[in-house]
Structure 1
Amino acid sequence: MRSLPCFNRRSLLALVVAAAMAAAATPAALAAAAQGGDGPRYLVYVPSRSAAVDHAANVRAFEDNGFTVVTLAYAGEDALGYARRVRDEVHGLIATGVDPDAITVVGAGTGSPVAALVSATSADRRIRYALLGNCDERLADAPGFHMSGRVLGIRDAGDRASQSCRRLWQDSPKLVERRDVVLHTGHGATLFDAPRAQWIVPLAEWSRGGHVAVGEMKVAAMP
Structure 2
Amino acid sequence: MTRSLPSPLKHTRRALVTAVFLAASSTAMAGSPHLIYLPSTEAGVDHAAIVQAFDDQGFEVSTFAYAGETRLAYAHRIADEVRALMAKGVAPEEINVVGAGTGSAVTTLTSALVGNRHVNYVLLGQCDPVMKANYNFRMSGRVLGVHDANDSTSLSCRPLWGDSPKVSERKELVLNTGHGEALFHEPRQEWLQPVAEWATGGKVSIGETSIGKVDEPAPRKEY
TM range (shorter): 0.7 to 0.9
Count of aligned positions: 204
Residue 179 (structure 2) aligned to one of 183, 187, 191 = 187
Query: How far does the alpha carbon of each residue in 1:134-155 deviate from its partner, in whole angstroms, 9 at most, with x for none?
Result: 0121221245310000000000
Within 5 Å, which residues of 2 pair with 1:169-188?
169-188=161-180
Q: Percent identity?
A: 50
Residue 133 (structure 2) aligned to one of 134, 141, 145 = 141
Q: Secondary structure at the match of 2:130?
A: helix
Counterpart Cα distance in 1 of 2:149 and 2:84: 36
TM-fit CA distance, 1:90: 1.1
Counterpart Cα distance in 2 of 1:46 and 1:183: 21
Unaligned runs of 5+ in 2: 1-9, 216-223
In the alignment, what sits opposite 1:28?
none
- Assess if the C-alpha contact under 8 Å between 2:72 and 2:106 holds in 1: yes
TM-score with structure 2 length normalisation? Answer: 0.83
TM-fit CA distance, 1:210: 2.3
Counterpart Cα distance in 1 of 2:19 and 2:71: 22
Amino acid at match of 2:38: V
Q: Secondary structure at the match of 1:150?
A: strand
In the alignment, what sits opposite 2:14?
4
TM-score with structure 1 length normalisation? Answer: 0.83
Superposition RMSD in Å: 2.6
Q: Secondary structure at the match of 2:83?
A: helix
Amino acid at match of 2:136: G
Within 5 Å, which residues of 2 pair with 1:64-143?
64-142=56-134
- Assess if the C-alpha contact under 8 Å between 1:179 and 1:219 holds in 2: no
Distance change in 2, residues 1:218/1:199 (3 Å): closer
- Assess if the C-alpha contact under 8 Å between 1:156 and 1:189 holds in 2: yes
